[in-house]
Structure 1
Amino acid sequence: MVTIPSPAVAVVGRHNSGKTTLVEQLISDLVQRGFDVGSVKHHSHVGFEIDHPGKDSYRHRAAGARETVIAAPGQMACIKTVEGELECTDIVRGMPGHDVVIVEGYRKSGLPTIEIMRSGNAADARVAAVFAEGARQGWPLGTDFTQRARAQRDANAPLDRQDQSDYQDISNKLPTATTVAVVTDIEEAHKAAVSYGIPSFSLDDITGLADFVQERFVRPRVTVVVQAGGESRRMGQSKALVLFDGRPLICRLVERLSPVADEFIITTNEPERLAFLDEAYPDVHIRLVRDALNVRGALPGLLTALEAATNPYVAIVACDMVFASASLVVAEALEMSASGADVVVPANKHGYEPFHAIYRREGCLPAVRAALEDGEKRAQAFFDDVTIREFPQERVLEVEPMGGCFVNANTPEELHSIEASLLGQ
């Protein structure tokens, strides 16, 4: 079963900054846009119960059960005993399949953070002053602002108990290199964010903040295109229809890649022979698309895929890649979102793997058309005209530890060898 990792962003701030209210409003806006949103709340106190004494499930836990699942129609909750405190990244990793996870707290998780500062909160006002001073001094984010906070404290009148508490609350809770946005009604904090090149939003601009989160962190919508072509001279028949483990090879590709496809397209010059896929996979809603040009070649195939896709990100995979990886498609899409690249392409000692790569439709389509007008047919002919992000072999192995994503079969002998290896024959 394919698990689709969920991208995540954390909303952080000091006590009484308004984190919960902001998270609630942000989640509501994103859900109204049709996104599947997960959430994580950091509870700073040791020990808490979401069930009540006297309830059956509570009694299970009290009797010593380390994990209790409470299930009802439409709902399920799990209470589990763990050693110490789980890392936030491990928690998010255990929440696959969401378009985005909004985390409240976990400043030190390593996640990108949205910093909230509210003028009505004394600790936030102190942080804003330190943040602004850092901007004026030109200190890079990630500098130890704690020393600056201590200097500000010493320059003021002696602190009462409440001030001491506020200082403790800000000393380790300042913007850092992971800060990607600021939400504030404090003018000097807004100006400091602008100075650092960080997007800044007012407390009531939930729509603007949701737009930012959608663009930067929500799992991008991906069209998966399997290039099936038609008759293969070296295979002696259509690669899509050659049998693998007793079924047409194209079925294996549909089953491996459809879980991560918001749109699934197969480019083929024999759509009538692949019409059985509609009945075999009715929930996938497969589109069969003929080549846009009556010209053979890898680049014309890319043109067909990019023109047919309706989503901004287009993952293109050859139909003979027996171990095509849905997890790699997701990792490439997230890398594209983070980097802004037009192409995220696996790279190894043999070069690029353009037929298990992801393409930004808007950036690549004009470049592909221009290369075709120049008489090019190679898949990589337009790469010099777009922004390329290499996805190195070590990253591929992080996503797919067993490797093999780019193994392809060009002849019956190669296909039989792969099949025998896979089935242990």
Structure 2
Amino acid sequence: MIKPPCVLQIVGYSNSGKTTLLTKLIPILEKAGIRVGVIKHDGGHDFEWDQPGKDTWRYREAGASLVAITSKTKTAIVEQKPQELSVLIQRLADAGAQLVLVEGFKREGYPKLALLRRPEDEELLSIVTNLVGIVGWSDKHQQGLPFFDINDIDNVANFVRERVSVWHCQN
């Protein structure tokens, strides 16, 4: 069996900067030799992966439960059902991910960095579990947790690299 990856959730309210943070963090971690997988939670929306009219879209519209497409450089599989986070993490582990960064899934129990953009976002700190740090625009948080300025991506990346081995990994 493949060694389980370490998991870090990036949580925050809508438009708090989660995706921007991840897109800056990923290349730094990959350059450091960590193979990164990413899972995005689409809370309440019905995302559309395919483009209407394309072959894979037409297969799904025809009722296929699973549709895969592959090329010389990438592969995608679309399932017509939701999946548990643990299943998605295992799939990324099977594909070689050493670290899985999860955007969202606030109620899951993995280690989390909370993004706080506005003062009212601090409510999040009382809702989520397993917080290991805060990333934001103001360091006025009295949580006893490491704080990182949103623009200090290098320190966030160092924090992640240093702690990869101590975070909860899937069993």
**Residue 395 of structure 1 corresponds to which residue in structure 2?**
none
Identity of aligned residues (%): 32
- Write the distance in 2 (CA, Å) between the matches of 1:214 and 1:62: 42
Note the alpha carbon deviations across 1:182-203, whole angstroms, 9 max, x for none.
01121312xx13xx2x111111
Pick the aligned partner of 2:134 from 182, 192, 204.
182
- Write the distance in 1 (CA, Å) between the matches of 2:140 and 2:15: 20
CA contact (8 A) 1:5 1:95 kept: no
**Residue 67 of structure 1 corresponds to which residue in structure 2?**
66
Paired amino acid for 1:174? L
Q: Which runs of 5+ in 2 are unaligned?
A: none
Q: Which runs of 5+ in 1 are unaligned?
A: 119-123, 129-169, 221-336, 340-397, 400-425
| Structure 2 residue 80 is the aligned partner of structure 1 residue 92 | no
| Structure 2 residue 161 is the aligned partner of structure 1 residue 209 | no
**Could you tell me how far 1:338 is from its partner in structure 2?**
4.7
Q: Do the aligned partners of residues 69 and 112 (structure 1) sit closer, same or farther apart at CA in structure 2, a change above 3 Å counting?
A: same
Note the alpha carbon deviations across 1:329-381, whole angstroms, 9 max, x for none.
xxxxxxxx359xxxxxxxxxxxxxxxxxxxxxxxxxxxxxxxxxxxxxxxxxx
So what's the TM-score if we normalise by structure 2? 0.89
CA contact (8 A) 2:116 2:137 kept: yes
- Write the distance in 2 (CA, Å) between the matches of 1:338 and 1:19: 20
Q: Secondary structure at the match of 2:107?
A: helix
- Write the distance in 2 (CA, Å) between the matches of 1:68 and 1:4: 27
**Residue 120 of structure 2 corresponds to which residue in structure 1?**
126
**Could you tell me how far 1:177 is from its partner in structure 2?**
3.5
Higher relative contact order (CA closer than 8 Å, sequence separation 6+): 2
**Could you tell me how far 1:46 is from its partner in structure 2?**
3.8
**Could you tell me how far 1:75 is from its partner in structure 2?**
0.5
Q: Judging by fraction of residues, say which structure has more helix.
A: 1
Q: Secondary structure at the match of 1:27?
A: helix
- Write the distance in 1 (CA, Å) between the matches of 2:64 and 2:167: 42
State the aligned residue count.
167
Q: Secondary structure at the match of 1:95?
A: helix
Note the alpha carbon deviations across 1:2-43, whole angstroms, 9 max, x for none.
322111100001111111101111112111212111001111
**Could you tell me how far 1:68 is from its partner in structure 2?**
0.3
So what's the TM-score if we normalise by structure 1? 0.37
CA contact (8 A) 1:67 1:78 kept: yes
CA contact (8 A) 2:6 2:167 kept: no
**Residue 102 of structure 1 corresponds to which residue in structure 2?**
101
- Write the distance in 1 (CA, Å) between the matches of 2:139 and 2:154: 20
